[in-house]
Amino acid sequence: MPDTSEILVRPACPEDNSALLDLLRRTPQMGSVTLTFERETDFFSGARVACEVPQVLVAERREHPGRLLGMVDIGQRQQYLNGQPCTVKYLHDLRIAAEGRGGRVLAALFRAIATAMQATGSWMEAVILEDNLVPLGIVGRGRSGLPNFYPNGRITTSLLPGRQSRSRADSGLQIRAATAADAQQLQQLWQQASSRQGFPVYQVRDLLEGSPYYQGLRIEDYWLACIGQRAVGVVGVWDQKAFKQTRVARYSPWLAALRRPYNLYSQLFGGLHLPAVGNTFSYLNLHGLSVLNDDPLIFQALLEHVLVHQVQPQQSLVCGFFDDDPLAQVLRPYRRQTLHSRHFLLSYDHDPRPAQARGPRHVEIARL
């Protein structure tokens, strides 16, 4: 293991907010579109959406405190596993500054992670963009001090432009916004999704009371699919731009030259809008999806309503599914851009996968 004696890893504090925001800006996702995933203007607001109990660790040189070399969040959130509520640690927002690469900062962070895992549980989960697997260099390398990364499925994230419809027949469902009077039905729909591995343990009362875990959401942001008075499906539409942004830092030369004609084409025929360099993408997140018996026709009716009535011009709707989820098939006929990620379970001592029942697994893209 590299010598990490000069690297200090400590819990983040509110005074680190500016340095954390700066680190996110300094660690872009490279590609034909170079992106920065930001949390302006309060990093910790976004952290409280990803996890009910954030645990942010930062790394800095002992002789140069304040200039962050790396960070990671290993917060806790409640999920259903094998039908029962469980506390799961989630490793995310791992960032290593360019001047901190070479192994020491990563090793120091994972030494602190190992201590936390020994104290609170034997495994955690992580979702890593496929494009980041090689740059991060933490999967499948057998590095000393790192946990084992057990592959647990592939996730496809779809960005769907609005104002498109693929409905072939009247579903017979009424789609309407939820109200406080629907709190019990909404809770029941979320409870029935407990059969899906990884579905969050959501409490409507926390939503109504304004918990930071539901920042920016009202009960009216959830859409119910109803048969008569009975709700058989729900999906939320979550605008997170106030605390979570995806900003364009750079386009490759060929894409920069094509951006304006591409946007004109998208405006006329439908497609993803590419903002100018320095601007952010405009998108809404699909959230809290639960449909009776995982019925794809109910999901399609909800999706149709959201795309036609909620997504504005130059906006996209973001949703994600594990590739083996039967509900993922509903997206196939739609125009969309896709990103692919890998889901891992991390452990220092055993493979957690055999203890988890097989079956549809849920991913909440809005909390990644």
What are the structure tokens assigned to 210, written together?
């304004």
Equal fold, 7-153 vs 159-239+273-343+357-367? yes
Q: Choose between 136 and 262: higher pLDDT.
A: 262
The whole-chain average pLDDT of the chain stands at 92
Looking at the DSSP bridge assignments, the partners of residue 34 are: 250
315-364 pLDDT, tens digit each: 999 999 999 999 999 999 999 999 999 999 999 888 999 999 988 899 99
Exposed / middle / buried, residue 101 (Cβ in 10 Å: 0-12, 13-18, 19+): middle
Find the DSSP H helices in the chain.
Answer: 17-25, 43-50, 104-120, 133-136, 183-192, 204-208, 253-269, 296-309
DSSP track, 27-79:
SPBPSSEEEEEE--S-HHHHHHHH-SB--EEEEEETTEEEEEEEEEEEEEEEE
Query: According to CATH, what is the number of the domain 159-239+273-343+357-367?
Result: 3.40.630.30
User: Does 7-153 carry CATH code 3.30.365.10?
Assistant: no
pTM of the full structure: 0.93
What are the structure tokens assigned to 28, written together?
């872009």
24-40 pLDDT, tens digit each: 999 998 888 999 999 99
CA–CA dist 303, 319 (Å, integer): 10
Residue 181: other Cβ atoms inside 10 A: 8
Residue 352 · residue 155 · CB < 8 Å:
no
207-241 pLDDT, tens digit each: 999 999 999 999 999 999 999 999 999 999 999 99
CA–CA dist 172, 169 (Å, integer): 9
Nearest to 136 by CA among 128, 144, 147, 145: 128
Nearest to 230 by CA among 285, 297, 176: 176
Nearest to 235 by CA among 163, 286, 198: 286
pLDDT, residue 359, reads 83
* pLDDT exceeds 90 at position 120: no
> Is residue 268 classed as helix, strand or coil in its secondary structure?
helix
pLDDT, residue 144, reads 66
Residue 215: other Cβ atoms inside 10 A: 16
What are the structure tokens assigned to 256, written together?
């920069």
Amino acid at position 143, single letter: R
Q: Taking the domains of the chain in order of start, what are their residue ranges?
A: 7-153, 159-239+273-343+357-367
CA distances to 196, 325, 349 from 358, rounded to whole Å, are 9, 12, 22
Looking at the DSSP bridge assignments, the partners of residue 284 are: 317
pLDDT, residue 2, reads 67
CA distances to 340, 344, 347 from 149, rounded to whole Å, are 17, 6, 7
Which has the minimum average pLDDT: 161-165, 296-300, 314-318? Answer: 161-165
Containing 276, the helix (H) or strand (E) segment is none
pLDDT, residue 170, reads 66
Average pLDDT in the 54-71 region?
A: 93
The label of the residue with tokens 């983040």 reads: 12
